[in-house]
């Protein structure tokens, strides 16, 4: 976990640090339970392979959203405030895969009260598989005194 990222640390076109995580069956099952997702393709190997034609149980979408959030706030520190996130599922993630998160800053724009919006594009891959494409907008402070979490109403329009 980084200290709080400041706007001065951010440049358009810069790469975010890579995050890699090996996926085990417990990674999938724990993520599904944490997100209250009881659908069998996330915990039942026979169902996933027999009924759904998958190779194994698969990571569920809400938990992947939480992984993207973790990837972003690892970079920004606790003052980074997620404004919006959009993702498109392309392929499944299975136990045995290694998730590889790679992000790039695409745009930086002024925000309210000493904050800025940072747009980031992230690709989640596993080996040769392009699994999830994601774009996110996260607010960061311009100075140690600023705090995106204090923005409300018209000051918070992500």
Partner 1 sequence: MAAESAADLPEEVRSWIEKERYTEKTTFPIEMGYVLTTLSATQNGNPLYWDEKVAQEVTGGPITLPTMVSVWFRPHDWSPGRTEPAVPLQLHFDLKAKLALPEAVMSDNTIIFGEPIRPGDILTTTQILYSVSPLKTTKLGTGRFWDFGVRTVNQRGELCAEERYTGFGYNRS
Please list the alpha-helical segments (H only) found in 58-158. Answer: 61-76
Neighbours of 117 (CB within 10 A): 20
Binding pattern for the stretch 83-102 against partner 1, x by CB under 8 A and - elsewhere: xxxxxxx-------------
Choose one: 43-51, 103-111, 121-129, 144-152; the region binding partner 1 (CB under 8 A).
Answer: 144-152
> By rule CB under 8 A, what count of residues binds partner 1?
38
Tokens of 16: 């975010």
Q: Which position among 41, 73, 115, 125 is part of the footprint of partner 1 (CB under 8 A)?
A: 73
Q: Which position among 11, 13, 36, 145 is part of the footprint of partner 1 (CB under 8 A)?
A: 36
Q: How far is the CB of 111 from partner 1 (least distance, A)?
A: 14
Q: How far is the CB of 31 from partner 1 (least distance, A)?
A: 4
Task: Check residue 82 for interaction with partner 1 (CB under 8 A).
Answer: yes
Q: How far is the CB of 9 from partner 1 (least distance, A)?
A: 18
C-beta separation of 118 from 108 below 8 A? yes
Q: In 3-157, which ranges are E strands?
A: 19-22, 81-89, 98-110, 115-126, 129-141
Task: Check residue 129 for interaction with partner 1 (CB under 8 A).
Answer: no
User: Which residues on adjacent β-strands are paired with residue 124?
Assistant: 101, 132
Q: Angle at CA 100, nearest 5°, toward 122 and 38?
A: 90
């Amino acid at each position: 976990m980084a200290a709080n990222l400041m706007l001065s640390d951010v440049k358009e076109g810069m790469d975010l640090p890579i995050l890699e995580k090996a996926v085990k069956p417990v990674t999938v099952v724990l993520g599904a339970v944490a997100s209250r997702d009881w659908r069998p393709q996330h915990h039942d190997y026979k169902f996933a392979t027999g009924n759904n034609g998958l190779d194994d149980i698969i990571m569920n979408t809400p938990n992947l959203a939480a992984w993207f959030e973790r990837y972003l706030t690892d970079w920004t520190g606790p003052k980074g405030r997620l404004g919006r996130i959009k993702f498109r599922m392309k392929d499944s993630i299975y136990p045995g895969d290694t998730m590889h998160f790679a992000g790039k800053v695409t745009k930086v724009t002024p925000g309210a009260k000493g904050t800025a919006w940072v747009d980031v594009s992230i690709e989640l891959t596993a080996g040769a598989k392009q699994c999830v494409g994601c774009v996110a907008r996260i607010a960061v402070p311009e100075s140690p005194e600023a705090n995106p979490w204090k923005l409300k109403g018209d000051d918070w329009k992500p």
